[in-house]
Structure 1
Amino acid sequence: MKNWKTWLRAGVVIAPLAVLAACATQQEPVKVVAQSQDQQLAQLFKDSDEANLRLNPISALARGDLRYADRVGDYFSDAYRAQMLQNKQQELLRLTAINRAALSPDNAIYYDVFKYETEQAIRFASEPLVSISDQLSIEHFNGIHNMFPDFSSGQSIAPYKTVKDYENGLKRLDEFVLLMDRAIQRMREGIATGHVQPQVVVDNVIGQLDTIIKQGVENSPYYMPIKNMPAEISGGDKTRLTQAYSEKISKDVIPVYQRMKSFMETEYKPKARRVPGLIGMKDGPLLYAALVEQHTTTTMTPKEIHEIGLSEVARITREMEAIKKEVGFKGTLKQFFEHLRTDPQFKFKSKEDLLANYNAVRARVDAGMPKLFSRSVKTPFEIRPIPDFIEKNSAGAYYMPGSADGSRPGVFYVNTYDLPARTKPGMESLFLHEAIPGHHYQISLAQETPSIPNFLRFGGNNAYVEGWGLYAETLGRELGLLTDPYQRFGKLDAEMMRAMRLVVDTGLHAKGWSRDEAIKYMMDNSSMSRTDSTAEVERYIAMPGQALAYKIGQLTHSRLRAEAEKELGARFDARAFHDQVLNTGALPLKVLEAKIRNWIAVQKASV
């Protein structure tokens, strides 16, 4: 077995293990069966996927694969870095030995995607990016200290149904404690090398750590699985597990949060940078350029993206002015924003009222879907409020994918924190983006299509996925929504936020904008509340480049549809177009463009 793994990493093509075992048992000469190029590619994809799941157990859990359910992952370690780099380098060698020209059309697409993603993985697993990334390991939006409580609450992807599930949870808590201590070590390295988070991120992280610490044991999200233990678990196991979780949380989990908080307050914050953007950090421009390419899957520069953002903001502003005139509002656009933020008619009566309104939108979308899409998804879907222990620093909404086998539903989480700041305009477009036909539909469709290789069934890139979500917002009229002018304005307001992201993200990280400048820009150009504007800006500070993916991706999806409509004329079928965009998973934008343009050419040639 050891030799088999070594050969495979070296790119040697061998028969499956079952065949070799059968041959050995029968004591007959081994018959070497030549694999086609398509078969070699499929084997490479399978081997790569297995290697990735071993290194990233949470990815396996997200699929409902429990083989590594007792692990979190060896992140931030030298061993993890080395193994990741070695895996990807060897996978690229195996890929280049395959003749792309001999592959089926779909496999040629998958070849291109795998090559792109593997080269990107090698880039970020190599110096200096790997060290810089690890040294910036904790931030308030996706830091493990903030993600893991939700993950471990029994309300997320980690199951708590059996005694084994609970025992796995205890083992994961041990690894989590190690990860937190290792993150402190990496951040100390960052202090020495000049790679540190800005003060606003540090302050938010300290607040999050303090929240978990003050919750104690029984009010902790880590204790929620004990409160919701299934009746099928015996009394003896309940007693044992309750004691084990209580001790683990009190003696290990809370202390590591205290260590992290003490480190942040006494060592890290005094060294945190004053400038919020990466432009104010050593090697910041290098990191930002890499992140821009990673998140947009393009070679566009921050300057180019900034200019596109300004152009889009101007266009959307003109369309907003038209709706303001349509509804008869007499003041300025800025006054109209304030009207939408404050007028009681746009407020929700309660959290339950907010959820009920979203469920009503869902019913209308479901009725309109067959007009634009030929396939439906089987994965269940729910609408829930964002958990209260993370809602303050969360976005207005987000989506958590379900499992491919349907055992765990996809969930559209909506933020009910500071309810008076939440308004009704924009509900429809937000649902379209996060749920159907946005993230829930696109992600579930990929997961439910076994012919797509796993790295695309369960993976993808931000530019495609978030670009599709924003493109889905543009389909409201065709799906029977956006008939109300305030909802149409809300759709423009949501699109404006994504356009502003191009301006603000690049403004912060490439032009040296301050946090206050960025917040003011967003409030001046949209109806966003200060609460939402602040959360958004601090998100861009914590996750440089990620927010660029939405608008860049949407512009590509929309441009490709416009090209198809122009070239095919009366023969254009939106259902067929959407099927082509979706049926091979989340592609890098250049690969998607090539695929759709080839499809257009084939359609024209078949006249």
Structure 2
Amino acid sequence: MGLVVGARPLLPALASVILALGATGCATATRPPIAPASAVAGADARMLADLFAADAAAEKRLSPLNAVARGESSPPTDFALTFTDELLQRRHAALADAQRRLAAIDRARLTPDEAISYDVFAFEKRLEARELSPELAPIEQVLPINHFYGLHKDYPDFVSGQGGAPFTTVAQYDENLARTRLLPRIFAAATARFRQGMATGVVASQLTTRNMIAQIDALLAQKAAETPFAGPTRAFPKTFDAATRRRLTAAYLGAISGEVLPAYRSLRAFLADEYLPAARAQVGLSAMKGGDALYRFDVASSTGTDLDPAAIHNLGLSEVARIQGEMAKVKVELGYAGPLKDFFNEIRTNPKYHPTTRAQLSEGFAEVGRKVDAQIPRFFSTVPKAKLQIRPYPAYSEKYEAGGSYESGAPDGSRPGVFYFNAYDLPSRFLTGITTLYLHEGAPGHHFQISLAQENPNLPDFQRFGGNTAFVEGWALYAETLGYEMGFYKDPLQHWGTLDDEMLRAMRLVVDTGLHTKGWSREQAIEYMLSNSGMGRTDATAEVERYIAIPGQALAYKIGSLTIQRLRQQAEKELGAKFDVRAFHEQVLGSGALPMAVLEAKIQRWIAGQKSH
């Protein structure tokens, strides 16, 4: 999950604390240092290092909240440009500079690690150029926020004192206040973007608009002192004296009451009174002007491929059929002899498959975490420095969230990563999914992949902190499959859970493409998911509304996972007794989140190198 400006996730930002979970029993290994490019002989290596440094500096100014999340100071003036033409112009200029400098570098003169970085950088700049093209930019820019990725909902958690923004010094408190006081200006810019879309016929769906209004209503129902914005004033560092605490508390509450909440009311009034009547009734992008081109870009940026949506749809249908065959076997192990579709309803309605309290969910995830920690040394030679915590979503946003998500910790390991679970509507949650959800969102899924990348200072910033969605989500889905080797799915209840989650990822291929290329309705998509899995209606509804809000993103899971699984199978077959799963995982995770083509080339070189030893 991420905080976005425009259509791109800029940083993880959610908050709320329940249970701390340490990575016990796992020793942290150290990677051999990689010589920085500037130390390698050759002008091309030096130019590459200079290019990466310049791009990182530019990106810090263009995406200021990312810099804040990394513990860096960022002038509020950069944040003030959110949703403006000036920011768009700066992005164009930075892209042109990067493309010019990249073209001057001879890739053949780089080391293997530098060549990987070159390839990743080139891939990302090609995508960015496509996104900023005259064809797509006018579409993306006029859809500034939605109910799944949106500044209006993610920023409050980010600055709550329990999210990504640090609050350890007086300067950080003051800088954060200055940024937060810019929300009226930024929301006005978002409103202007929405109005541009209304004039050109590029508008969000009524469904997404209503959800945004409901999210704002939930925030406005809170008193100023109870909002996430006031969170830092409820947990001052012990080093702050009384006078400083009084000053900051008064300043924060004054800004919240006098500036922030009125800005939310204005945004809400615009969405309800002007935008909702103009929003489109159909949920799919194919019903929107320019929607077909935007969806193809969304598919390419999420999967890292140019797969045709129709091919993805058919792949999904075949995967759904395959997984249902496995489900039919497990339901018998669970003591059910009737048809599979009847068992879907049985597992949805029988209370024994559902938690009765939030604590039951928390304790279940904690227990799985302890079991996973004991297994990690068998599969990984390097583990994150950052610890992992388990928390529920905040009550005011949980209704609109997925079943779980991950928020990255600090690059230096000082702030833990967070696995969020959804405790809204407990009868719709499943005890069967505890293991697979933890493996995906926690360890060794997102927590390992994201933490190991950002904790590796030898990688360029765009590899440490960025990455292709197919890799990020594909790795997490691949991590779920490690539960078989860890022995967790010998329990048919948890085996059903992982098949149900795998089914979810297969259905996403069908439903996302159905919604955005085949004219499927929200209700049609929900019914498809309920007919082909045991998921509850609340989860199915949240999933479908997610695909409506962020088209294409959900395709990345299965596409990425199938690629990693295929590469592992190839390595096992070709290396035989030489194959070491820990070394394979080190290769997959050691260069950050790579585009699928770059990952494949890297693993092929590794296999060849291992065979020659």
- TM-score, scaled to structure 2: 0.91
Select which of 365, 370, 386 maps to 1:363: 370
- Say if 2:426 is the partner of 1:419: yes
Hey, what does 1:299 align to over in structure 2? 306
- Contact 1:401 1:409 (C-alpha < 8 Å) held by counterparts: yes
- Say if 2:236 is the partner of 1:229: yes
- Contact 2:75 2:175 (C-alpha < 8 Å) held by counterparts: no
Displacement of 1:605: 2.6
CA–CA separation in structure 1 for the residues paired with 2:128 and 2:339: 48
- Say if 2:126 is the partner of 1:119: yes
Hey, what does 1:289 align to over in structure 2? 296
Select which of 103, 114, 120 maps to 2:110: 103
CA–CA separation in structure 1 for the residues paired with 2:581 and 2:77: 45
Hey, what does 1:14 align to over in structure 2? none
One-letter amino acid of the counterpart of residue 597, structure 1: Q
One-letter amino acid of the counterpart of residue 422, structure 1: R
Hey, what does 1:332 align to over in structure 2? 339
Please show how residues 88-99 of structure 1 align to structure 2 within 5 Å. Answer: 88-99=95-106
- Contact 1:55 1:73 (C-alpha < 8 Å) held by counterparts: no
CA–CA separation in structure 1 for the residues paired with 2:334 and 2:526: 27
- Say if 2:318 is the partner of 1:318: no
One-letter amino acid of the counterpart of residue 393, structure 2: I
Structure 2: which 5+ residue stretches go unaligned? 1-39
Select which of 537, 541, 545 maps to 1:538: 545
SS at structure 1 position matched to 2:485? coil
CA–CA separation in structure 1 for the residues paired with 2:78 and 2:251: 18
1:176-235: CA deviation from partner (whole Å, max 9, x where unpaired): 221111000000000010110011101101111111122131221112222222333222
One-letter amino acid of the counterpart of residue 71, structure 2: G
CA–CA separation in structure 2 for the residues paired with 1:178 and 1:130: 22
- Contact 1:216 1:254 (C-alpha < 8 Å) held by counterparts: no
CA–CA separation in structure 1 for the residues paired with 2:184 and 2:173: 17
CA–CA separation in structure 1 for the residues paired with 2:588 and 2:75: 33
Displacement of 1:332: 1.8
Please show how residues 489-568 of structure 1 align to structure 2 within 5 Å. Answer: 489-568=496-575
Hey, what does 1:594 align to over in structure 2? 601
CA–CA separation in structure 2 for the residues paired with 1:176 and 1:553: 37
Identity of aligned residues (%): 49
SS at structure 2 position matched to 1:202? helix
- Contact 1:72 1:176 (C-alpha < 8 Å) held by counterparts: no
| Greater radius of gyration (CA) | 1
Displacement of 1:168: 1.3
CA–CA separation in structure 2 for the residues paired with 1:562 and 1:210: 50
Hey, what does 1:3 align to over in structure 2? none
1:118-142: CA deviation from partner (whole Å, max 9, x where unpaired): 1111221232322211211121011
CA–CA separation in structure 1 for the residues paired with 2:182 and 2:414: 26
Hey, what does 2:491 align to over in structure 1? 484
One-letter amino acid of the counterpart of residue 363, structure 1: R
Select which of 437, 442, 445 maps to 2:444: 437
One-letter amino acid of the counterpart of residue 485, structure 2: E
Hey, what does 1:475 align to over in structure 2? 482
1:430-464: CA deviation from partner (whole Å, max 9, x where unpaired): 11111111100111111122221111011111000
- Say if 2:600 is the partner of 1:576: no
Cα RMSD (Å): 1.5
Hey, what does 2:405 align to over in structure 1? 398
Displacement of 1:70: 7.8
- Contact 1:446 1:584 (C-alpha < 8 Å) held by counterparts: yes
CA–CA separation in structure 1 for the residues paired with 2:363 and 2:375: 19
CA–CA separation in structure 1 for the residues paired with 2:352 and 2:234: 39
1:271-298: CA deviation from partner (whole Å, max 9, x where unpaired): 1101100010011001101111011000
CA–CA separation in structure 2 for the residues paired with 1:509 and 1:436: 33
Displacement of 1:343: 2.0
Hey, what does 1:353 align to over in structure 2? 360
Hey, what does 1:449 align to over in structure 2? 456
Aligned residues: 574
- Say if 2:458 is the partner of 1:458: no
SS at structure 2 position matched to 1:398? strand
- Contact 1:348 1:420 (C-alpha < 8 Å) held by counterparts: yes
SS at structure 2 position matched to 1:135? coil
1:503-551: CA deviation from partner (whole Å, max 9, x where unpaired): 0000000110000000001111111111100000000000011111101
Structure 1: which 5+ residue stretches go unaligned? 1-32
SS at structure 2 position matched to 1:441? helix
CA–CA separation in structure 2 for the residues paired with 1:412 and 1:52: 27
- Say if 2:49 is the partner of 1:45: no
SS at structure 2 position matched to 1:138? coil
Please show how residues 227-266 of structure 1 align to structure 2 within 5 Å. Answer: 227-266=234-273
- Say if 2:57 is the partner of 1:57: no
- TM-score, scaled to structure 1: 0.92
- Contact 2:286 2:516 (C-alpha < 8 Å) held by counterparts: yes
- Contact 1:198 1:273 (C-alpha < 8 Å) held by counterparts: yes
Hey, what does 1:25 align to over in structure 2? none
Hey, what does 1:308 align to over in structure 2? 315
Displacement of 1:35: 5.2
- Contact 2:76 2:178 (C-alpha < 8 Å) held by counterparts: no
Higher-RCO chain (CA-CA 8 Å, sequence separation at least 6): 2
- Contact 2:392 2:423 (C-alpha < 8 Å) held by counterparts: yes
Hey, what does 1:5 align to over in structure 2? none
SS at structure 2 position matched to 1:449? coil
Please show how residues 368-387 of structure 1 align to structure 2 within 5 Å. Answer: 368-387=375-394
Hey, what does 1:210 align to over in structure 2? 217
One-letter amino acid of the counterpart of residue 104, structure 1: T
- Contact 2:407 2:418 (C-alpha < 8 Å) held by counterparts: yes
CA–CA separation in structure 1 for the residues paired with 2:43 and 2:598: 24
- Say if 2:194 is the partner of 1:219: no
1:62-83: CA deviation from partner (whole Å, max 9, x where unpaired): 2222344785352211111111
CA–CA separation in structure 1 for the residues paired with 2:485 and 2:337: 30
Displacement of 1:175: 2.4
CA–CA separation in structure 1 for the residues paired with 2:365 and 2:247: 41
